[in-house]
Amino acid sequence: MMGNKNNQNNTGSEKRGESRKTLGQVLRYIGAYRILLALSILLASATVIISLYIPILFGDTIDYMIGAGQVDLPRILQVLVKIGVLIGVCAAMQWIMNTVNNRITYHVVRDIRNEAFEKIQHLPLSYLDSHSSGDLVSRVIADVDQLADGLLMGFTQLFSGIVTIIVTLIFMLSRSVGITILVTVLTPMSFLVARFIAQRTYSMFRLQSTSRGRQTALIEELIGNQKIVRAFGYEQRGQARFDEINDELEKYSLRAVFFSSLTNPATRFVNSVIYALVALAGAWQVIHGMLTVGGLSVLLSYANQYTKPFNDISSVVTELQNALACAARIFELIEQEPESAEKPGTLAPENEDVQGHVALQDVSFSYDKSVKLIEHLSVEARPGMRIAIVGPTGCGKTTLINLLMRFYDVDQGQICVDGTDIREVRRDSLRSQYGMVLQETWLRNATVRDNINIGKPDATDEEIIAAAKEAHSWSFIRRLPQQLDTIVSDESLSQGQKQLLCITRVMLVKPPMLILDEATSSIDTRTEVRIQQAFARLMEGRTSFIVAHRLSTIQNADCILVMRGGKIIEQGDHETLLARGGFYATLYRSQFEH
């Protein structure tokens, strides 16, 4: 029992510590707008002082008409005009304050989103591979929106509430010290009730936010792959997975809303009791001549005004728990370690200076350090060589490409280009030296021109058209409604057309080295022959790495690496490997002999 209690206390302390840390991070972003923040506090103070001064004027008005024949109409009218002017000024200040608060909130949200998105651009692929894109989208979009709602409520009500409490106390003391002490002693009870509830809402809001991220990831996964879902009859199982996560989200949301909704009625009950006690104490003082009727009305108004901020702050605290839970997920992303920093003095050679001599020397690598993948791999590709990589699924072909592009760093050994370890070369410079065409295509929702010139933004239309003709994509591009100016997306083109556009990108850039990973897998046989001819021209004088399952596409390679279990088990040209009668010959016969 004691052990469980200690564990609960430790968990509670950790959650409070996490909440305080997250709040500190949010305040760091807000601090960039300290001038606007100071203006907001100043306006909040001014509006509160004016709104609290108005009850005093109403109390004076009541005292100016305490009986028959004792109504001072001129002074009443004078006070009413003064009240009207103050109300107008107060309304204008509140409008300005809300505008400032909105500006602070959405500037902070913009900064957090920018930093989160920038971090995603620099995160290592190991992190992106282990987290669903739907969850990342949920953090950057939905969680930041929740944070914005919490911040806006905080700016709108928190500052005003604190100032209201302080100024109300000052004004109440000027009327009755005894009633002020009564209100001051009893009112914090409502805040303690709210704090008790708020401590139990943070964990629920955190679980709610996590479940929402999982739900977003599942929705994106199922909707983005509807053809596969329907082809394999996965609809019912997909629905079952969605229902499970949806029920989980409902459970956490209901608990969070239940606990947070207790705050308002609980604090209002405490406030009503305080109001009744002030009325009784004030009436007793009026009877004994210690207080005027107008003074009592002022104190009752202040008693209500004084307790109201506690209700508002309680609501803000509850909403902030939700906001901080969402912010914690955002900052968890922002605080992730980026790709290892470039070493001082890293090189950035120009592409025209790159010869393309690639050497892998005793390279070992694995994604999971407990499961070995590539071990002691050594390969040399001299400038202009065509290196084909074949082997069964999971043998390490794509991993080898990831290492060449330095998407991952080797665990042991080194990879050199022209005698320089690629870890001594800037990543962006290294990657610009390779032209890469993958089996998986990616298009921007933009014009054909914008999709082709990604690697060469300053390319002219003549260069783009020449590259398109060389890649055999011009035949379908010229039939599009606006040719190069046609807006395309992943859904508007066939898989083969998308792959042709990706090939055209490489044709346009003409890099010193090439990586072709099943580059013609979605293209018909006739077009593939033309593409192979275009690739043959493109590969002339360029070091090329070709990953292929269809062995017919690599028969002209200078060297074929046969991989199995992360190791090269055979190496040589097509004829040599066939004559050897080993694993490559078996693969070849399985494709061409029936």
* Helix, strand or coil, per DSSP, at residue 274: helix
According to CATH, the topology of domain 351-592 is: Rossmann fold (3.40.50)
The full length of the chain comes to 594
**What's the helix, strand, coil split of the chain in %, to 5?**
70, 10, 20
* pLDDT at residue number 8: 47
* pLDDT at residue number 155: 67
The bridge status of strand 487-488 relative to strand 543-547 is unpaired
pLDDT by residue (tens digit) across 331-362? Answer: 877 877 776 666 665 666 665 667 778 888 88
pLDDT by residue (tens digit) across 173-224? Answer: 777 777 777 777 777 776 677 667 766 676 777 778 788 878 887 887 777 7
Taking the C-alpha atoms of residue 514 and residue 444, their distance in angstroms, rounded to an integer, is 22
Q: Do domains 21-334 and 351-592 have the same CATH topology?
A: no
A 10 A CB-CB count for 210 gives: 18
* pLDDT at residue number 519: 65
CB 259 within 8 A of CB 204: yes
CB 404 within 8 A of CB 436: no
Q: Which helix (H) or strand (E) holds 578?
A: helix 574-580
Sign of CA dihedral 40, 45, 51, 54: negative
* pLDDT at residue number 5: 47
Query: Of the given ranges (142-156, 502-516, 567-581), which has the lowest mean pLDDT?
Result: 142-156
The arithmetic mean of pLDDT across residues 65-82, rounded, is 71
Question: What one-character DSSP code corresponds to residue 341?
Answer: P
Taking the C-alpha atoms of residue 139 and residue 21, their distance in angstroms, rounded to an integer, is 18
CB 546 within 8 A of CB 387: yes
Record the pTM.
0.61
Does residue 393 have a pLDDT over 60?
yes
- Written as six digits, the tokens of 528 are 């593939």
CB 414 within 8 A of CB 423: yes
Alpha-helix residue ranges (DSSP H) falling in 407-460: 427-432, 448-452
Taking the C-alpha atoms of residue 116 and residue 334, their distance in angstroms, rounded to an integer, is 5
Question: Residue 523: pLDDT band by 50, 70, 90 thresholds?
Answer: low
Residue 316 CB partners (closer than 8 Å, separation 6+): 153, 154, 157, 158, 161
Question: Residue 15: pLDDT band by 50, 70, 90 thresholds?
Answer: low
Residue 117's alpha-carbon distances to 110, 132, 325, 408, in angstroms, are 10, 15, 19, 21
pLDDT by residue (tens digit) across 414-438? Answer: 888 888 888 888 877 888 888 887 7
Using a pLDDT cut of 70, give the percent of the chain over it: 82
Nearest to 162 by CA among 275, 48, 79: 48
Average pLDDT, the chain: 76
Question: Residue 1: pLDDT band by 50, 70, 90 thresholds?
Answer: very low
- Sequence spans of domains, the chain: 21-334, 351-592
Question: Residue 124: pLDDT band by 50, 70, 90 thresholds?
Answer: confident
pLDDT by residue (tens digit) across 368-391? Answer: 777 777 778 788 888 888 888 887
Does residue 459 have a pLDDT over 80?
yes
Residue 276 CB partners (closer than 8 Å, separation 6+): none
Return phi, psi of residue 320, to 5°.
-65, -30
* pLDDT at residue number 357: 84
Determine whether domain 21-334 maps to CATH 1.20.1560.10. Answer: yes
pLDDT by residue (tens digit) across 461-509? Answer: 888 888 888 878 888 888 888 888 888 877 777 777 787 888 888 888 8
A 10 A CB-CB count for 21 gives: 12
The arithmetic mean of pLDDT across residues 410-415, rounded, is 84
Torsion-angle region of 391 (φ positive above 0: left; ψ -120 to 50: alpha; else: beta)? left
Nearest to 58 by CA among 367, 395, 351, 299: 299
Q: Which of 371-380, 395-404, 474-483, 572-581 has the highest mean pLDDT?
A: 474-483
Nearest to 295 by CA among 308, 312, 283: 283
Does residue 235 have a pLDDT over 60?
yes
Does residue 172 have a pLDDT over 80?
no
CB 314 within 8 A of CB 264: yes
Taking the C-alpha atoms of residue 594 and residue 591, their distance in angstroms, rounded to an integer, is 8
